Each structure stands twice: as structure tokens, then as C-alpha cells.
Amino acid sequence: MSASAVLIGFAAMIAMLLLSFPVAVIMVVTGVIGGVLIFGWPLVMSMGPVSWGVLNENILTAVPLFILLGELLLRSGLADKMYTALAVWFVRLPGGLLHTNIGASAMFAATSGSSVATAATIGTVSLPNLTKRGYSPSRSLGSLAAGGTLGILIPPSVNLLIYGSMAEVSIGQLFIAGIVPGVLLTLCFMAYIAIHSIISPDPAERDARETLLPIKERLKLAVHLIPPMMIFLVVMGSIYLGIATPTESAALAVVAALIFIAFSGRLTFALLDVSFRQSAKTTGMILLIVVAAFMLNVTLALGGAAQAMTTWVASFGLSATSLLLVLIVFYLVLGMFMDVLSMQVLTIPIALPVITAAGIDPVWFGIFVVLMCELGMITPPVGMNLYVVQGVRTDRGPFGDVVKGAIPYAVIMILFTIFLIMVPEVVLWLPAEVR
């Protein structure tokens, strides 16, 4: 298989995607047609055992568990209380409650692992209050859309699970590698909010600072921060100490969430029913795409696509840094038209061999890919978080408000990614310490 054949196949998949074909169908059709053309039907027949092996992979069991964890926290009201508890502490900062949007998103991301769930949950809780206080729509909506992107970087992350499964990289190492970049990106977002507020003050933000509660009441509300913090510690602590695998840590986190929900008095059959049903729907969609991606990988692997692409890219004489800068532009354009999961499963099989040959650490590249997928969540016209936040706003204002507010955060993410390229130790230091 030549590099030109790989590029033609990839272009065909993008074309089918733009024609609204389901991404799983696109990958299966491309994999089957390519397999028949190169090797004939025997290769296609071998895809059945591959699909069975993927679905029996232990690590993918963590996907429905982390999705269920996010559903339980979302529907039990624990996320609402967490937002209120953070708001009384962040309100004094320049930018007021906008910091709470970022902080609450980061904390919810550390338990849910989903950007869409994070943006929808925090947006539903915060927007009525922000609108009531008179906050600028673009500032409010932009901070919510950007805060939601933290859901797929700060562990546990479903997208890191998918990357680890496809790239055969340690999930524990990926989770640990996401902590420092996740925290730093959160601080970058908050720094932007503070600087923007100082340069261009919003009267609503000043009014919010005047409602500061006494320290005693703030400490009382801080109790509601315990459940998400404990759940995060259960996940990362059990992996870090070697007590549990990522799949087992996900199960422990679900049990911990159920205990907290039971103590809050909200553990009902109706809650479990809707959480299980929604988790099953989301899991089915994700795993169907993953299986389709592995079927495509059979054709790519046996057809020598990885070697062909590596040789082709090497012919340009690009350094590792130049290659990553090109990939930033590539993912930026791709993110304007594709959703996160589609971007991952379509590009990882082709990009991973190339970056590995360039000497780039696959754990570091996992964080890079997730950052690029985050960027795609807030870049129009197909930025999923933009539509999620627009959908939960109560005033039904113009969609341009969300786009205008999210653009500065997209620029911050690009600059932050370049910083990680220049200083890769930011990602790799913590995983190296805990090996």
C-alpha cells in the first residue's frame, strides 16, 4: 500500500463524513473495500475475530463505568451543590463567577470524563444565575464552552481510554500524564478571565463580589466539594498505588458515587433507571465506533499503511517540532468539521506510527491528541460544546455570542499546546516519577 493510496482512502472517508454518513459505517466500508482490493475476502473474514477480541478487551470495560459515573453525578444533584460551594470562594476574584465556571468544570471533569456532560451540567447550573446578575453573554458562554473541554483532558477521561486502547499505551500512564497539563490549562483559562476583567471591567462582576458570604458559611458549603474530590482520589489513588487497574478504579468510583448519593437521600430507582439507560446508549455508540476503527486498522496494518506513511513523511525532512506544528494545523482544520471521537479513531492509526518514528513519546502524543480534540470542541462550525452551551442558555440569544466568547480560549489552547511541544517534560515528568 502506497502513501497516495492511504491519502486517497482518508480523503474518501472525510468526504463520506461530510455527506453525513455515520462514522462507524465509513470506517467499516473503507476497511472492507480496502481489504478486498488488497488481499481479497480472506482478510475480510478475519475481521470477525478482531471485533470479538476488541469487545472482550478488559480495559474498554472502564468506558461504560466512567460514563455511568458522570450520569450519576449529573442526575443526583451533586454537581449543583459543587458549583454553589465553589462560587462563594471564587466570587472575589477579578471576573467573579466566570472563575466558578472554569473551576467547577475542572472539578466535574475530574469525575465525569466527558466534555459534553461537563459543559451541559455546569451550563445548566450556572447560566440562570449569570443571566440574572447581568453578566456579558459572550463571556459567560465562552467560559462554559471552554471549561467543558477540560472533561477529556483531566483524568479520568474516556478519550484517553480510547487512545490508550488503540495505541496500546498504559491507561494509568495517560491518566497521570493528564493531571499537570489539565491543571495548568485550567489556570491559564482563569488567568485570561482575570486579565480580561481588569482590562475591560464588567459591572456585573463587581456586583457579584459584594455578595461575599461570611467565612463560616463558606466553610459550611465547602462540604459539598468532598464527594467529587474523594471520587477523584479513589480513581487516581487506586491506580497510583497499584491497588486497582483503570477498569477496577472506575468500578470503585461508581461505588463511591452511589454511597455519596445514598447519604444525600437521592438514591432512587428512577435515578438509577435513567442513569443506566443513558449510559447504555452512550456506551453503545462509542464502542460501535471503536470496533469499526479496529476493523479498519486490520486493513491498514496488513497493507503496510504505517510504513508507507512513515516513509512519505520522512521524505520531507521535517524535525519532530515541525511535524507537530503541521499536525496542529491539520487537527485545527479537521476539528472544524468532525466530532472528537471521529477525529481520534480516524487519525490515530495513521499518525501514531509517524510520530513514533520521529521519536515522539506515545504518552505525550496522547495528551497532544486530546488537546487537539479539545480545540475541536470549541471551533465552529461543528464545535460540539458551542452547541451544547447554546442549547442550555435560557435567553435564546444569537449563536455568535458563544463563538465570540470561545475564540480567545481556542487561541490559549493553541499557545498552550506549543508550550508543551517546547517543554514536553510538563507532560512526561509525573508519569516518569510514578513508574
Closest CA to 27 of 41, 40, 14: 14
Which of 59, 77, 64 has the alpha carbon at shortest distance from 114?
64
Question: Which sequence spans correspond to the domains of the chain?
Answer: 3-433
Query: How many alpha carbons lie under 13 Å from residue 148 in its C-beta half-sphere?
Result: 31
- Give the model's pLDDT for residue 192: 95
pLDDT of 381-403, one tens digit each?
Answer: 767 788 888 887 777 778 888 88
The backbone region for 267, taken as left when phi is positive above 0, alpha when psi lies in -120 to 50, beta otherwise, is beta
- Averaged pLDDT for residues 318-330: 89
Per-residue pLDDT at 51 exceeds 80: no
What mean pLDDT is predicted for residues 404-430? 93
CA pseudo-torsion sign 143, 148, 150, 155: positive
Say what the pTM is. 0.84
- Is the pLDDT at 322 greater than 70? The verdict is yes
Helix (H) or strand (E) holding 41: helix 41-45
pLDDT for the residue 417: 95
Q: Which three cell numbers stand for residue 247?
A: 477498569
**pLDDT tens for each residue of 96-135:** 888 888 988 888 877 766 777 788 778 888 888 788 778 8
What's the chain's average pLDDT? 83
Reply yes or no on whether the pLDDT at 2 is more than 80. no
Side-chain half-sphere CA neighbours of 217 within 13 A: 7
Q: How confident is the model at residue 420 (pLDDT cuts 50, 70, 90)?
A: very high
Q: Is the pLDDT of residue 6 over 80?
A: no
The DSSP-derived string for 188-248 is HHHHHHHHHHHHS--HHHHHHHTTPPPHHHHHHHGGGGHHHHHHHHHHHHHHHTTSS-HHH
Whether 175 and 246 have beta carbons less than 8 Å apart is answered as yes
Position 209 pLDDT exceeds 70 = no
If one compares 192 and 431, the residue with the highest pLDDT of the two is: 192
Ranges 54-58, 254-258, 430-434, most confident: 254-258
For the record, the C-alpha cell of 377 comes out as 470542541
Residue 82 has pLDDT above 60, yes or no: yes
User: Would you state the pLDDT for residue 206?
Assistant: 61
Q: How far is residue 53's CA from residue 321's CA, in Å, rounded to a whole number? A: 36
Q: How confident is the model at residue 1 (pLDDT cuts 50, 70, 90)?
A: low
